[in-house]
Structure 1
Amino acid sequence: MKEKGVRELPKVELHLHLEGAAPPAFIRGLAAEKKEDISGIFDEQGGYAWRDFWHFLKVYEAATSVLRSPEDYHRLTLAVLEESAASGVVYGETFLSPDFCGGRDPGAWREYLHAIREAADQAERQMGITLRGIVTCIRHFGPEKARETAICAAETAGDWLVGFGIAGDETVGAPKDFAWSFDCAREAGLRLTAHAGEWGGPESVRAALTDLNPERIGHGVRAIEDLALVDELAERGTVLEVCPGSNVSLGLYRDFRAHPIAELDRRGVKVTISTDDPPFFHTTMAREYQELHRAFDWDEGQFGRIARQSLDAAFCDADTKARIAKLLEG
C-alpha cells in the first residue's frame, strides 16, 4: 500500500484534545495579537518545546493561556479541523474543558460551547469533517473542580456534546475521587471515557474500570503488562483510544515497532487510532497510519476495520454513524 494511499483513507479519531491540537503558528499569532510573550514554549523551529510529560503539561497550559474568549475558540476549532481534514479524518471527537472555557462558570461555558459548535458546523459544510465534543475534567485540578466541570457538562449534554471523561496527570489522586462527577455525567445521558494506563500502569486501568465504569479508556496501553487485564478488556468490549505517536514521543515505547497496539489488537482488544495532542508530538492522523503501516505492515483492510471499529465506539447518535459509515465504505 502506498503512503499516499494511507493519507487518503477515511479516518475516525476519538482521542484529540482541542487545545493540544492547536497549531503552534496559530498560538504564536494569537499571543502576538494579545501582546503576550510566550516565546519560551517554542523551539528554534517554531514547534512546542517540552522535556517530559510534566513539563509538557506546563507548556500545554501556557499555550492555552492565550485562548481567552469564545471567538478565540471558534478560530481554534477551525484551525484544528483544517489539519484533521487534511489527514483524511471524516469524523472526530474532541476533548473540551470548562476549566479553560470560562472557568467552569455554566453561563460562560455555554458561550464557549456555542462558538466551538458554530465553527464545527462551518467546518462540516466547508471541509466535510464531522465533530462532536467530550467534556473532560482535569485530574490534577482535583475532585471539587471536577464536580463543577461535570455540572457544566450535564447542563449542556445533547446531540453535539456527547461524552464526559477525565484527563491530566494520572499520578494525582485516584479514579474513585471522581466517581461523583462520572455519576453526574452518566445520569445526564453522557457516554464515558477515562484516561488511564499511560503513566499509571495496568493498575490504573483496573481502578478506572472498577470505580468509574467507562466504556472507553484513553490510552490504556500499559494494560499489556497484565495479560489477565488484557483478556478482561477483550471480554468486556472496552475500547482503547490508542495514540501510538504520543506514546513514542513521550518515551513510553522506543518506536512504533515496540508499541503494543498490534498485540492488543491480536488479543481481541478493541483498539482505535488517534493523535492526542498532534503538534506537540509532531504527528498527524496520516502519519499515525503511515508509521503503523511501516511497523506492522497493516494494509487498507486492517485500517478499514479499525476505522469501522472506531465508528462503532463513537459517542454520536445512530443517524450520524450511518452517515459516516457511508463515507468509510466510500
Structure 2
Amino acid sequence: MPHDSGDRPPNPPNLQDTSAPHPGGSAADRDLRRLPKTHLHLHFTGSMRPGTLLDLADKYGVHLPEALSGGEPPKLRATDERGWFRFQRLYDIARSCLRSPEDIQRLVLEAAEEDVRDGSRWLEIQVDPTSYAPRLGGLIPALEIILDAVDRASSRTGLGMRVLVAANRTKHPLDARTLARLAVRYADRGIVGFGLSNDERRGFARDFDRAFSIARDGGLLAAPHGGELSGPGSVRDCLDDLDAGRIGHGVRAAEDPRLLRRLAERGVTCEVCPTSNVALGVYEKPEDVPLRTLFDAGVPMALGADDPLLFGARLADQYELARTHHEFTDAELAELARQSVRGSAAPEGVKSGLLAEIDAWAAD
C-alpha cells in the first residue's frame, strides 16, 4: 500500500461539472459530487458495476437471475429470515463471478473510479477474504491479491484507499480470531480496521470479543455492524462487548435517546446507508431514515452506499437523499462530510487537508 507523502491528501480528481438542481431544489445548490468526502461503508462485491457483473457472468458461464440481470436494482426486503436469505443469495451469486486476480483488480479499480466521480477522497472498502479464498488459492493469497488491487487502484486514481477486514458473524468465532490475526499481520499493507458483517440477528456480539480484542491490540479500528436489522440493543452490544470505535449502520440507535447521548459523548461514528436501509425494508421511505434525529443529537455520521450493485445508488446519492428528503442545507451537508473525514482512519495530515477542502466547498 502506498503511504501518503507527508500525509498530504490525495490529488483532487478531475470531476465533470454535473451541477444541476435536485428535485425541489434550486440551481444555486452546490454540486454534491464536488463536495470532498470519505467513504467508510462499502462492501467489496457490492461495489461492483452492474455491467461488470454481466461481463463476468458471461465470461464464466454463470446464469444470473433476473434480479441481477434485469437492469434495475432488485426488489429486496430483508427484515425477515426469508428476505435476508434472498439478499444473501444474490450477493453470493455475484461474488461467484470473481474468480481471478484480474477480476479483483477490475472490481477495485472501478469502485475507486466511481468514488472519485462522487467526490470521495478516501475509501475504506470492506471485505471478508475467506469468501474469495477458494477461487484465489487460499486465504493469504486472496488477501494479498485484494491488497495489491487496492494499491494499484489507489495509485491509478489518486484516491486514498485502505481495507477493513470483516468477519462473518454466521461463522464460528474461532474463524473470526484467525481473520483478526491475519488482519493485524497485514496492517502495514493498508488494513486499518476489523468488522463484523452479515445478519446481526444471528449470534451475539460478545461471542466475537476475543477477535476484536486481537484486532484492537494490533492497532486496528473496531467497526462492527449493528443497529440495522436489530434494534438499539445491538448497538449497545457493539459498544459494550466489542469496544467499537465505529458502528456499521447504527441507525436504530435513534430509538433510544440515552444511547444517542452515549454515541455523541464518545464520538462514535455511525456509518449510515440510507438507500440500503430503505431497500432492505428497515424503513419504508427515504424520509423515514432518522438522519435528522442522529444529526441533531450530535451523533457523528459517515454516509455510505453499502452495496450499490444491489441498491442502485452510490455515495453522492446518499448526500442527495439527505438534501432532498431531509432538507439538509449545504452547510449541514458540509458538516456531514467533515464527520466522515473525522471518523475515518486516514492520517491526521490527510484529514486536515480534506477538512480544508470541505471548508472551501462550503464557502464557494
Does the alignment reach a TM-score above 0.5? yes
After TM superposition, give the deviation of residue 311 of structure 1 in Å.
0.7
Among 339, 343, 359, the residue aligned to 1:309: 339
Among 236, 246, 253, the residue aligned to 2:276: 246
Match of 1:113 in 2: 147
Unaligned segments of structure 2, at least 5 residues: 1-25, 78-82
Match of 1:12 in 2: 38
Q: How does 1:243-282 map onto structure 2 within 5 Å?
A: 243-282=273-312
Q: Distance in 2 between matches of 1:101 and 1:66?
A: 10
Q: Distance in 2 between matches of 1:300 and 1:178?
A: 40
Match of 1:56 in 2: 87
Helix, strand or coil: the match of 2:71? coil
Helix, strand or coil: the match of 2:223? strand
Is 2:168–2:196's contact at 8 Å kept on the other side of the alignment? yes
Is 2:169–2:196's contact at 8 Å kept on the other side of the alignment? yes
Is 1:90–1:327's contact at 8 Å kept on the other side of the alignment? no
Match of 2:23 in 1: none
After TM superposition, give the deviation of residue 107 of structure 1 in Å.
4.0
Match of 2:80 in 1: none
Match of 2:161 in 1: 131
Is 2:269–2:299's contact at 8 Å kept on the other side of the alignment? yes
CA, structure 1 residues 188+18, in 2 after alignment: closer, same or farther (shift >3 Å)? Answer: same
Aligned residues: 326
Indicate yes or no: 2:23 matched with 1:23: no
Among 160, 176, 181, the residue aligned to 2:190: 160
After TM superposition, give the deviation of residue 175 of structure 1 in Å.
0.6
After TM superposition, give the deviation of residue 17 of structure 1 in Å.
0.6
Among 203, 208, 217, the residue aligned to 2:247: 217
After TM superposition, give the deviation of residue 246 of structure 1 in Å.
0.7
CA, structure 1 residues 108+280, in 2 after alignment: closer, same or farther (shift >3 Å)? Answer: closer
Among 122, 135, 148, the residue aligned to 2:156: 122
Helix, strand or coil: the match of 2:31? helix
Indicate yes or no: 2:58 matched with 1:32: yes
Q: Distance in 1 between matches of 2:346 and 2:189?
A: 7
Q: Distance in 2 between matches of 1:139 and 1:86?
A: 33
After TM superposition, give the deviation of residue 43 of structure 1 in Å.
4.8
CA-to-aligned-CA distance 1:159-190 (integer Å, 9 cap, x gap) = 62111111111111111111111111112111
Helix, strand or coil: the match of 1:280? helix
Match of 2:233 in 1: 203
Match of 1:318 in 2: 348
Q: Distance in 2 between matches of 1:108 and 1:93?
A: 18
CA-to-aligned-CA distance 1:9-59 (integer Å, 9 cap, x gap) = 222211111211111210110121122223455253354565533311111
Farther-moved stretch of structure 1 (159-168 vs 194-203) = 159-168
Among 121, 129, 138, the residue aligned to 1:98: 129
Helix, strand or coil: the match of 1:146? helix
After TM superposition, give the deviation of residue 216 of structure 1 in Å.
0.5
Q: TM-score, normalised by structure 1?
A: 0.92
Is 2:197–2:224's contact at 8 Å kept on the other side of the alignment? yes
Task: List structure 1 runs of 4+ shifted beyond 6 angstroms.
Answer: none
Matched residue type, 2:151: R
Helix, strand or coil: the match of 1:327? helix
Helix, strand or coil: the match of 1:137? strand
Q: TM-score, normalised by structure 2?
A: 0.84
Helix, strand or coil: the match of 1:269? coil
Q: Distance in 2 between matches of 1:306 and 1:46?
A: 29
CA, structure 1 residues 48+113, in 2 after alignment: closer, same or farther (shift >3 Å)? Answer: farther
CA, structure 1 residues 108+132, in 2 after alignment: closer, same or farther (shift >3 Å)? Answer: closer
Helix, strand or coil: the match of 1:141? coil
Is 2:227–2:250's contact at 8 Å kept on the other side of the alignment? yes
Q: Distance in 2 between matches of 1:48 and 1:69?
A: 26
Q: Distance in 2 between matches of 1:115 and 1:145?
A: 24
CA, structure 1 residues 112+9, in 2 after alignment: closer, same or farther (shift >3 Å)? Answer: closer
Percent identity over paired residues: 34
